[in-house]
Structure 1
Amino acid sequence: MGTFKIEGGHQLKGSIQPQGAKNEALQILCAVLLTPEKVTINNIPDIVDVNKLIMLLGNLGVNIQKNGPGSYTFQADDINLKYLESEQFKEEGRGLRGSIMIVGPLLARFGKGYIPKPGGDKIGRRRLDTHFEGFIKLGAKFRYNREDYFYGVEAEKLHGTYMLLDEASVTGTANIVMAAVLAEGTTTIYNAACEPYLQQLCKMLNRMGAKISGVGSNLLTIEGVEKLGGTDHRMLPDMIEIGSWIGLAAMTKSELTIKNVSWDDLGQIPDVFRKLGITIERKGDDIYVPAHADGYEIQNYIDGSILTIADAPWPGFTPDLLSIVLVVATQARGSVLIHQKMFESRLFFVDKLIDMGAKIILCDPHRASVIGHDFKSQLKATTMVSPDIRAGISLLIAALSAKGTSTIHNIEQIDRGYENIDERLRAIGAKIVRL
């Protein structure tokens, strides 16, 4: 189990480049299974979860060529479907939640798709019903082996249909879209997820020859085509990492520039941090955060009531940044209620912040009230264990702002979502060592 040793309380300075988007990568990589032609993808993040999926594609028979840092060419012209029923696949597929999105492309192109019950973060229940209900509506037969938690869908031919999703699941929408592009007839998906990464997937599929309209809305119309071709694609910067660096700058009173952030795809993220009192300036396509020498003050609502920050499907505020917002609020002037609606276990890491001296009341599994210190009482260094990717980066930010030397164990969780994070933080002045 890897460990970070962090000497906190130092100001950082400089610029940092966000990696390619993890959540986009998991969708885009699965889409290479839809065509026998070459697909080149750029700005792929070098992180554990993405590398696991690339390895899984290779084992499935996809020819993979690395062109350079973050750039790969994939060609799925000789797929080994027997691998899907092997013990090796059951083991490898189980270790990555994003592996669920190979099912839609495999079902569309080869008439069958299998997956073991995926793993991933322990942040609460994340149902797969939306995925499989969509496949069933397209004409697939579903089966589930309870003994080894193995899911399967099969169909001789998929047929377009109308469906109203029970939740605006991002991975569910992506999976159904990838199945529907090769279905016979027209598929209409209402209550579809519409976040930028899903839009990126749809635009890429359209370049490959798909006919998807309504991209960016919650109503997608897909006219099925017989086949798809190759394409080149560049992934967006990771908005969760961008939010993480904004939070880091505020907590350490540092002057930071976050480069090439694709401002138009950030949605509410800049405004939510501004509500916490953080100054964010747009400079071209960069974000500039000045050093907050006098701290930052949370805005109340116009009637004076306490600010609530809650997550919601896009274009609402992403749940992946609520952990960061919560940590940032511990040193603000004022109070805020954090309402994590979408996952019921994601706030359980606050006990570690309370141990560091933060004033947080965990109201229930979904809500936490944070009373800010206004930097009058610095967080204290401690030893902690990272429970998931986003809590891990939040604890790392807390440690970088704290007084003394902190230790974070189980940093494999952080490595799942953040590329070479210790090297990149040292480049802007952080005192962090990987043990």
Structure 2
Amino acid sequence: MKQMIIHGGKPLQGDVWIGGAKNSTVALIPASILSRTPVTLEGVPRIADVDNLMDLLREMDVQCNFTNTTLMINPVNIKLSPLPAGKVKSLRASYYFMGALLGRFGQATVGFPGGDDIGPRPIDQHIKGFEALGATVKNENDQIIITAPEEGLHGAEIQLKMPSVGATMNIIMASVTAKGSTVINNVAKEPEIIDLATFLNNMGATIRGAGTDQIRIEGVPELRASVPHTIIPDRIEAGTYVSMAACIGNGIRIHNIIAEHLDSYLAKVEEMGVVIDTDEDSLFVYPAGDLNMVQVRTDPYPGFATDLQQPITPLLLTAKSGEGVILDSIYPRRTRHIPELQKMGAKIKVEDNIILVHPGSVLHGAEVTADEIRAGACLMVAGLMAPGETKINNAGNILRGYDRVVQKLHQLGADVEIVDIPDRQGVFD
């Protein structure tokens, strides 16, 4: 097990550069197997999820070369093979291989996805989309087996019951090589979906409407990559550093951002009283003074992102008056970081899946556990704020989502390290 050790209470200062978007990257890597030629992705974050996806590619004899922030993927000699449950339990994004394999081979066998436990995240919309395209879907031995008809997938009109990012991306990947026209209604509008559509269009796909609530696709026989694709900046990583800068910063500039992707988040942070200067591709967060409590409600993009409700929580703990409220309308059970913050002295609680933040918290170091990626980010920010030593168990979850996080924190002046410790069976991960 990996553990993050933080000696907190020290002001941070300087510059930090945001990596490529995790939530784009974990879809773009599976999507690369749709290409009949080698693919180059630039701006790839150094995160554990990328390593896990590369392992899955190698299971199919796909060559990968990851140097600095450039990932070269050669799917020319790809071999269709099942991706068993044991291989895909480490990350939920493994389910993108369903759509990618279906689009490339007309069939896919993928174990049920793993990932963070943040409440129910069914894949029924993915399956209904595949079925609308003509595929047969079966569940056997903890695996999902998807098979296109002999004549191949066909275009269809698909209505999502809710705007799911995962279902939108998976159905796009399955339908880009399907015969005829596909229309997907009530789709998610996240920037990462536009990034995927841009990547596929540059390989010859015909996708229109990404970023709106309807996407139209004209199927093409095959895709071929010819130019490198640069991944958009990670808005969740950027938002986390904004919170960190406001909580414990003495002036921090955050580079490589697209500010409009953060509009809802920055509006809420500024409502608290944080002063931010925004330039074309960077922003500067001034040292925070007395801050106001706010109410936060997560919503699908362009609303306040569910992945940012935990990173903003430590910032609410710094407010001197008022009552803060956080309601996650996407994943109401995403509250497992709250008992851990209480161990650090936070005046915070959960009632009916609503997070209530009281003023006057005085944080101190403690031993806590990161049950998922964004909970880990929350505890990391709190640990940097809190005097004394904070130990975050399951810190591998932080490494799954945050690019070169220890290196970046060191550049800002933080005293932080990652160590390996024995788990309960005395085995290192």
Q: TM-score, normalised by structure 1?
A: 0.92
Q: Distance in 1 between matches of 2:418 and 2:158?
A: 48
- CA drift at 1:253: 4.1
Q: Distance in 2 between matches of 1:105 and 1:386?
A: 31
Q: TM-score, normalised by structure 2?
A: 0.94
The match for 2:174 among 176, 179, 183 is: 179
Is 1:296 aligned to 2:328, yes or no? no
Output the amino acid matched with 2:206. Answer: K
Q: Distance in 1 between matches of 2:109 and 2:17?
A: 37
Is 1:344 aligned to 2:343, yes or no? no
Number of the residue aligned with 1:312: 299
- CA drift at 1:127: 0.6
Deviations 1:374-410 (A, max 9, x none): xxx5311111111111001101111111122111111
Output the amino acid matched with 2:77. Answer: D
Number of the residue aligned with 1:368: 355
Output the amino acid matched with 1:248. Answer: M
Q: Distance in 2 between matches of 1:425 and 1:64?
A: 29
Q: SS state of the match for residue 182, structure 2?
A: strand
Deviations 1:346-375 (A, max 9, x none): 1122112122222213112x31111232xx
1:41-60 correspondence runs (5 A): 41-60=41-60
Number of the residue aligned with 2:426: none
Q: SS state of the match for residue 84, structure 1?
A: coil
Number of the residue aligned with 1:401: 385
Deviations 1:137-170 (A, max 9, x none): 000001001xx31101101311111111012111
The match for 1:215 among 187, 193, 210 is: 210
Q: Distance in 1 between matches of 2:175 and 2:359?
A: 48
Identical-residue share of aligned pairs (%) = 33
- CA drift at 1:296: 1.8
Q: Distance in 1 between matches of 2:306 and 2:398?
A: 17
Number of the residue aligned with 2:219: 224
Q: Distance in 1 between matches of 2:253 and 2:100?
A: 39
- CA drift at 1:249: 1.0
CA gap 1:421/1:191 in 2 versus in 1, 3 angstroms: same
Q: Distance in 2 between matches of 1:349 and 1:429?
A: 25
Q: Distance in 2 between matches of 1:90 and 1:4?
A: 29
Number of the residue aligned with 1:104: 99
- CA drift at 1:63: 2.2
Number of the residue aligned with 2:183: 188
Q: Distance in 2 between matches of 1:362 and 1:369?
A: 6
- CA drift at 1:62: 1.4
- CA drift at 1:308: 2.5
Which moves more between the two structures, 89-98 or 38-47? Answer: 89-98
Number of the residue aligned with 2:17: 17
Q: Distance in 2 between matches of 1:72 and 1:355?
A: 40
CA gap 1:253/1:38 in 2 versus in 1, 3 angstroms: closer
Is 1:84 aligned to 2:71, yes or no? no
Q: Is the 8 A contact 1:253 1:295 kept in 2?
A: no
Deviations 1:297-343 (A, max 9, x none): 23xxxxxxxx4211111111110000112221011133221001222
Q: SS state of the match for residue 380, structure 2?
A: helix
Gaps of 5+ in 1: 299-306
Number of the residue aligned with 1:38: 38
Which moves more between the two structures, 226-235 or 173-182? Answer: 226-235
Number of the residue aligned with 2:132: 137
RMSD of Structure 2 on Structure 1 (CA): 1.4
Q: Is the 8 A contact 1:378 1:403 kept in 2?
A: no
Number of the residue aligned with 1:73: 72
Q: Is the 8 A contact 1:125 1:344 kept in 2?
A: no
The match for 1:389 among 369, 373, 380 is: 373
Is 1:421 aligned to 2:405, yes or no? yes
Gaps of 5+ in 2: 420-429
- CA drift at 1:79: 1.8
Q: Is the 8 A contact 2:19 2:256 kept in 1?
A: no
